[in-house]
Structure 1
Amino acid sequence: MNKWVLLIGDLVMLYLFALIGELSHNKFTNPLGTLGTAAPFIIVWLVIGFLAGIYKMEHYNNFGTMFKKTALLWLIAIPAGLGIRALSTGEIPLPFFIVTMISTFILLFLWRTIYVWVNKRRNA
């Protein structure tokens, strides 16, 4: 598998996070609106991710390396995305911060664990 599959999966997970949030709060209007909700997270994830070299394939040969690289990006990018979101909403309540961190952790790490598992099986 290649970096584009990984990148698309990351984007899908961040979009899914926004979609689940909108649906759970009855705020869903349309798919493009959800993209707007996800945009701060997607933009920061991609910018910091590419600057940090997160899409170098050597990071995805084992779970430990993937976890370390992803954890570092997640710890920086998700709070930064929340900060950008706060510019438009005015605030980020603590419960929203906590739910965002937990939800994105689960979605991104689940996806990336599956990616490494499939990648290892294909290369075995």
Structure 2
Amino acid sequence: MRRVRAHAVVGRQRARRRGQYAEYVASAAWHARRRRWVQKEEQCTGKPVCCAVCGSEEWDDLHHLTYDRMGHERHGDMVAMCRPHHEQVHRAYDAGRWRSLGYEAVMRRLLRLAREEHERRGA
């Protein structure tokens, strides 16, 4: 789980949600869900799982596009990402004033922008 930025204000509700998330991603249920996600992704695409931004098969993280169904995620609620691109998307989210737009909409947009930037750089 990402560390809270040094200057961030974290209220009780956000601190509680972060704690719940940390417990969940450390659980056997999450690890089983992650394995099922990988299996379904490979079955649907017919290819190995890769980073949603750069296409690298060296992905590390399964990024939540929404936490609305945490513990009962749909396949489309998550995408595989390499650590550098996962951190890039979260830094962009943290740097903006996005909260009023809704997390899922913002994450989908930031993911698209990260892909476009990656393609522009020709990496």
Q: TM-score over 0.5 for the alignment?
A: no
TM-score where L is the length of structure 2: 0.32
Q: Say which structure, 1 or 2, has more relative contact order (CA 8 Å, 6+ apart).
A: 1
